[in-house]
Amino acid sequence: MAFKLSHPTKKIQGAIHLTASKSESNRALIIQSLCKEQFEIQNIAIAQDTVSLVDILKNATNTNGIDTYDVGPAGTSMRFLTAYFSTLSGTRILTGSERMKQRPIGLLVDALKSLGATIEFTEKEGFPPLKIKGTILKGGEIEIDGNVSSQYISALLLISPMLQNGLVLKFKGEITSRPYINMTLKMMEEFRVYGQWQGNSISVSPQTYHKKSESDYSYKVDGDWSAASYWYSIAALSEEADFTIHGLKHPSLQGDAIVSEIYSFFGVKTEFIENGIRLTKTKVKDEHFGYNFSDCPDIAQTVAITAAGLGTPFYFNGLHTLKIKETDRLEALKSELAKFKINVNIPDNSSIEVKDNTIEPPTATIATFDDHRMAMAFAPLALKFENIVIEHPEVVKKSYPNFWNDLKSAGFIIEEINA
């Protein structure tokens, strides 16, 4: 199946209520499972990754025999559950999709083992599936590369107050995605657990998660700023835009909220309103664009495609984690932008560059490589060219199930075809 996209007016007006953040939702779910006091999570994400995590956590306390839990393609769930299952009595098998079995997890497993966990690789060394025998972890001090996925670090932090001796995480080198780490620490603080930055390390003493004392307390998840990035791209590539997105907070815990600053370069003005933002189209800057995405790698694809669509030469770095996402996102960008006669150079494993940018109509359908962000990042190019065709559009369910319906509400015409 494929979707053929077009937009007859190229003008974007109206409003949507944005999908909730799966990053916040997934962290809240792990904290909820570790907290002895019950509380409700409001506005929880309907993303496939979060739905599967909810289902797994509901059944995870069953210790009859060795149960197997399948996260599918959900990287965050794989990392968070590896740590969580290490603290939970009983033995469990944790597995995922074929792509998940190719995504390394050895660094996290080694870190957990050094804290007292019992984990085995059941197939390929360093990769899922995992056999995890839960126990009381002693904790202590460990050293970890700062440029690893922030999901590894957040997985360790979320369980850190449960460790007998607490946790001291020392980072070697530059720290990648610090805003995601700070999001985790801020959410832990919401539940009375406090971690402390000390130079290039974080320490968390043994503590207990507690909800706030109000009898009707609930945790409300913010809208997803990474999902908002596609609407910024739509505004930038449109001829005119005056569009409202409800459900976003400012300031936000999410590092991807930086998208509002990035897109000012591409002629998108952000007005912060009550419970949301208003996007309007202004003038695009006529110059080369460079940016380090080490703090916000999830929006790099979207910004690259926006720049390509506007004819803006660009150089992005800080992208090393994109090699181990749902697909190799650097190679995927190179492959699919080539269909628009855009020559993407990959100087190394952490950067991409486009020097001479003159975009042309696509020569073929857009492959998504089982990656939700590939589908959503390329969709706005329907404002530049008629009948953009995107293969396997169903992949968006991983993070933004309502994406195509939201596009229709903004005037996009979407036709299902065989491809």
Which has the closest alpha carbon to 26: 67, 81, 73? Answer: 81
Task: Tell me which residue has tokens 């998108």.
Answer: 268
Cα-Cα-Cα-Cα dihedral sign, residues 101, 130, 110, 25: positive
**How far apart are alpha carbons 200 and 222 in whole angstroms?**
29
- Structure tokens of 332? 């995927």
Q: What 3-state class would DSSP assign to 171?
A: strand
Side-chain half-sphere of 124: how many Cα atoms within 13 Å? 12
Strand 140-145 relative to strand 167-172: parallel, antiparallel, unpaired?
parallel
Residues with active-site annotation: 298
Give the residue ranges of DSSP H helices in 253-389.
259-262, 300-310, 329-337, 372-378
Cα–Cα distance measured from residue 368 to residue 378, given in angstroms and rounded to the nearest whole number:
9
Distances (CA, A) of 407 to 353, 384, 402, 404, 417: 29, 15, 9, 5, 17
DSSP string, 148-164: S-HHHHHHHHHHGGGST
Give the Cα separation of 344 and 327 in Å (integer). Answer: 17
Verify cis geometry, omega within 30 degrees of 0, for the bond prior to 251: yes
Strand order across the beta sheet in which 167-172 lies = 140-145, 167-172, 201-204, 195-198
Quick one: which of 243, 277, 223 has its CA closest to 383? Answer: 243
How far is it, in rounded angstroms, from Cα 65 to Cα 192? 34
Alpha-carbon torsion (44, 249, 243, 373), positive or negative: negative
- Give the contacts of 348 (CB within 8 A, at least 6 positions apart): none
CA–CA separation, 199 vs 170, rounded Å?
Answer: 9
